[in-house]
Amino acid sequence: MKIMVGGTFSPLHAGHKKLISRSFELAGPEGLVVVGLSSDNFAGRKSHPVMTYEARKAALERYIESLGTATTWEVEALNDRYGSALEADFDILVVSEETLPVGLEINKLRRAKGKKMVEIHQIACVLAEDGRWISSTRIIRGEIDDVGRVIRREE
């Protein structure tokens, strides 16, 4: 199985790790996972500060290596929300609840180009201890840490 997954991953948090690890589970040991990582230029459109591409790529590679998987993988730069997903031959696109609309748009554009549609595998977003989604924005604001623990401030 060839799996594609993508994101900015800044900072890499529990929700991202669930998305990535599920991609490897779906690919299996004989498969391939292509992780699209937003380029500095594309990630610069975010509403919060983003680490450099190289720093994000290094954190991503460390996490993937920690999985101890036999699955082949590669990281490709994303210069837009689609990357190579409009043209590449692959089986499954892994998305979160938040990125499902992009996955549906990818299939619509693939169909318009005469490409085969791909299976979309959606994972549930990971909740922080306060019951809200873990997100990079919340981490950067200092509301939660990267595993979803609420950061309590002394008054």
The H or E element that residue 41 is part of is: helix 40-43
38 bridge partner residues? 78
Average pLDDT score over the chain: 95
Q: What is the CB neighbour count within 10 angstroms for residue 115?
A: 16
pLDDT at 155 exceeding the cut of 70: no
Domains of the chain with bracketed CATH: 2-125 (3.40.50.620)
pLDDT at 122 exceeding the cut of 90: yes
Task: Name the pLDDT band for 153 (thresholds 50, 70, 90).
Answer: confident
- As a whole number of angstroms, the distance between CA 53 and CA 40 comes to 5
33-83 pLDDT, tens digit each: 999 999 999 998 767 789 999 999 999 999 999 999 999 999 999 999 999
Q: Is 136:59 a contact under the CB 8 Å cutoff?
A: no
DSSP letters spanning 5-53: EEE--SS--HHHHHHHHHHHHHH-TT-EEEEEEE-HHHHTTSSS----H
Task: Look at the pTM and tell me if it is higher than 0.95.
Answer: no
What pLDDT was estimated at residue 87? 96
